[in-house]
């Protein structure tokens, strides 16, 4: 139980000068400071290769806040309180002897520490070994790594082996920042505290489920990295499958880490594997060509800076899958994600089954089920489409669809802040692993994605194309319309 777990006051951030720290983690610490969530004794040690002083780091922190926190939220008092917590230690992470610097710097600090690896996975092993030889690891230390862990099952297993050399599974925090979003966390409450939904959250009540993560950004300066991954590995393996797990899992017995993780693992185990016999009707991959977004011309994927013109890497996938268990018999789960799409939209759409006879006009068109839209971006909230009578004196000759909405940003005064890191950082400090991924989940997700890619390659599936600024290739619509379904459009 979380009650017995030690609270941590020493946070060591490897890669403090890197992109992730500057853009996401430091701003997240700021919001936590502002909201009074941080213990007085919390200290943060930034680790980097460059030789900078504590004060120079603090200047970098200030700069990060200036750039990445909206001006209206900046308060100098809070900035000062926060930067006092930051210290710096220069360290070449590949050199075992450098870790003694670390030891020296935090010898008076409260222990155990949390080690956050905002660095390349290639350095994970040396960091673990270095921390070990510097005797900085205790059974209560925590180590944090960012998803994706690896780029396929094998590399993921290698990384996990390195981490488990010195850390137990209960000490490893694999972050998927999607899971820090308020709405994602709300999925659990939404599903298990609302009888209206929970009583129909199964194949008797639900017709199909969509999970969409559309991005409007292209690949830009990380072409080389992305081209080795592709959209399936970059987005489905991590974020989309996690959302799927939270939507589909059985009610956990309790809300503790183990109960939730074990339910998520069960979903991944039940996820129908894509193989060469079924891949053609269940998997669409595509790459963007040039097009326009908001009136601005965008190059195609193979014309981006640094691109290889022959690349066959997918920037879009649409997948139809099923969860082979009692609850979800025959309910299609559609996943869709792509780059350079019309807008950045992340949402889960639950299509409830129709239940009844259509009495609202003479054409006897079939009754549609209600739709629950869970938005993660651009807004965070939930919205239920209900059918109502169109206003006016005419009687019931038709129905209209209106949204009943609950906007978490409005009702809960959520800030328009760019990440879910605050909540995850707090979980690391307090030792709550429920929103972090266990090894089994990560590896099952990789295995499923590896199978899909392999099946697609083996059967020489076509790579389709879509113009930048659209919602993907026509084959994505066909994938779902063959079941009489369609992607939700606002």
Residue ranges in contact with its own copies by CB under 8 A: 32, 35, 37, 182, 185-186, 188-190, 192-200, 205, 251-255, 352-360, 367, 369-370, 372, 382-384, 386-393, 395-396, 399, 402-406, 408, 411-414, 422-423, 426-427, 432, 434
CB of 397 to its own copies, least distance (A): 9
| Contact (Cβ atoms closer than 8 angstroms) between residue 327 and residue 199 | no
Going along 202-282, which residue ranges are E strands?
A: 206-214
Q: How many helices (H) and strands (E) does the chain have?
A: 17, 17
CB of 186 to its own copies, least distance (A): 5
CB of 94 to its own copies, least distance (A): 35
User: Which one, 201 or 316, has the nearer CB to its own copies?
Assistant: 201
CB of 446 to its own copies, least distance (A): 27
Token representation of residue 92:
């070449």
DSSP 259: H
CB of 256 to its own copies, least distance (A): 10
CB of 177 to its own copies, least distance (A): 14
Degrees to nearest 5, angle at CA 409 with 405 and 411: 65
| Contact (Cβ atoms closer than 8 angstroms) between residue 72 and residue 37 | no
CB of 394 to its own copies, least distance (A): 8
User: Which one, 408 or 464, has the nearer CB to its own copies?
Assistant: 408
| Contact (Cβ atoms closer than 8 angstroms) between residue 312 and residue 463 | yes
Sequence-separated (6 or more) residues with CB below 8 Å from residue 355: 367, 369
Strands across the sheet containing 86-90: 86-90, 43-48, 10-14, 113-117, 142-146, 172-175
Token representation of residue 39:
């213990």
Sign of CA dihedral 391, 394, 395, 400: negative
Degrees to nearest 5, angle at CA 29 with 23 and 31: 100
Known catalytic residue at 239: yes
The helix (H) or strand (E) run that includes residue 128 is helix 124-133
CB of 86 to its own copies, least distance (A): 20
Alpha carbons 350 and 372: distance in angstroms, whole number: 5
Token representation of residue 280:
């053609």
User: Which one, 229 or 399, has the nearer CB to its own copies?
Assistant: 399
User: Which one, 141 or 422, has the nearer CB to its own copies?
Assistant: 422
First to last CA, the chain: 43
Degrees to nearest 5, angle at CA 100 with 96 and 104: 165
Q: Which of 68, 166, 177, 239 is catalytic?
A: 239
Going by DSSP bridges, is the β-strand pair 316-321/283-289 parallel, antiparallel, or unpaired?
antiparallel
Helix (H/G/I), strand (E/B), else coil: 164: helix
User: Which one, 252 or 291, has the nearer CB to its own copies?
Assistant: 252
CB of 117 to its own copies, least distance (A): 22
Going along 272-399, which residue ranges are E strands?
A: 283-289, 291-293, 296-298, 316-321, 333-338, 345-352, 371-377, 381-388
User: Which one, 19 or 357, has the nearer CB to its own copies?
Assistant: 357
Sequence-separated (6 or more) residues with CB below 8 Å from residue 432: 2, 5, 257
Going by DSSP bridges, is the β-strand pair 333-338/206-214 parallel, antiparallel, or unpaired?
parallel
Degrees to nearest 5, angle at CA 421 with 420 and 427: 110
Question: What amino acid positions are annotated as catalytic residues?
Answer: 239
């Amino acid at each position: 139980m979380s009650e017995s777990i030690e609270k941590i006051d020493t946070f060591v951030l490897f890669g403090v000068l890197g992109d992730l720290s500057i853009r996401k983690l430091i701003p997240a610490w700021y919001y936590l400071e502002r909201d009074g969530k941080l213990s007085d004794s919390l200290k943060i040690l930034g680790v980097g290769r460059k030789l900078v002083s504590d004060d120079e780091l603090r200047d970098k922190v200030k700069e990060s806040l200036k750039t990445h926190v909206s001006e209206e939220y900046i308060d100098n008092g809070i900035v000062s309180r926060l930067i006092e917590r930051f210290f710096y230690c220069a360290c070449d992470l590949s050199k075992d002897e450098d870790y003694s610097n670390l030891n020296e710097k935090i010898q008076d600090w409260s222990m155990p520490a949390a080690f956050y690896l905002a660095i390349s996975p290639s350095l994970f092993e040396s960091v673990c070994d270095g921390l070990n030889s510097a005797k900085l690891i205790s059974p209560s230390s925590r180590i944090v790594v960012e998803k994706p862990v690896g780029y396929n099952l094998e590399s993921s297993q290698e990384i996990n082996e390195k981490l488990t050399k010195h850390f137990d599974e209960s000490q490893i925090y694999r972050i998927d920042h999607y899971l820090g979003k308020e709405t994602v966390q709300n999925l659990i409450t939404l599903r298990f505290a609302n009888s209206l939904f929970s009583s129909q959250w199964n194949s008797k009540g639900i017709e199909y489920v969509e999970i969409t993560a559309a991005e409007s950004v292209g690949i830009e300066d990380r072409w080389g990295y992305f081209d080795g991954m592709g959209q399936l590995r970059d987005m489905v393996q991590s974020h989309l499958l996690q959302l799927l797990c939270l939507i589909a899992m059985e009610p956990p017995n309790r809300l503790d880490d183990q109960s939730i993780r074990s339910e998520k693992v069960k979903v991944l185990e039940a996820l129908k594997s894509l193989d060469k016999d079924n891949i053609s009707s269940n998997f669409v991959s595509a790459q963007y060509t040039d097009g326009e977004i908001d009136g601005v011309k965008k190059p195609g994927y193979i014309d981006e800076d640094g691109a290889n013109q022959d690349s066959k890497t997918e920037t879009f996938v649409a997948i139809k899958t099923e969860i082979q268990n009692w609850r979800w018999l025959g309910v299609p789960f559609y996943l869709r994600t792509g780059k350079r799409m019309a807008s950045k939209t992340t949402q889960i759409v639950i299509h409830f089954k129709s239940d009844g006879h259509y009495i609202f006009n003479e054409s006897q068109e079939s009754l549609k089920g209600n739709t629950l839209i869970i938005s993660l971006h651009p807004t965070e909230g939930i919205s239920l489409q209900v059918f109502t009578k169109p206003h006016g004196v005419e009687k019931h000759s038709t129905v209209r669809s209106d949204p009943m909405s609950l906007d978490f940003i409005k009702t809960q005064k959520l800030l328009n802040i760019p990440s879910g890191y605050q909540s995850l950082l707090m979980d690391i400090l307090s030792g709550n692993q429920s929103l972090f991924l266990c090894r089994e989940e990560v590896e099952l997700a990789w295995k499923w994605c590896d199978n899909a890619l392999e099946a697609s390659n083996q059967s020489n599936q076509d790579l389709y194309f879509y113009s930048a600024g659209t919602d993907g290739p026509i084959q994505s619509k066909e994938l779902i319309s063959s079941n009489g379904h369609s992607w939700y459009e606002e």
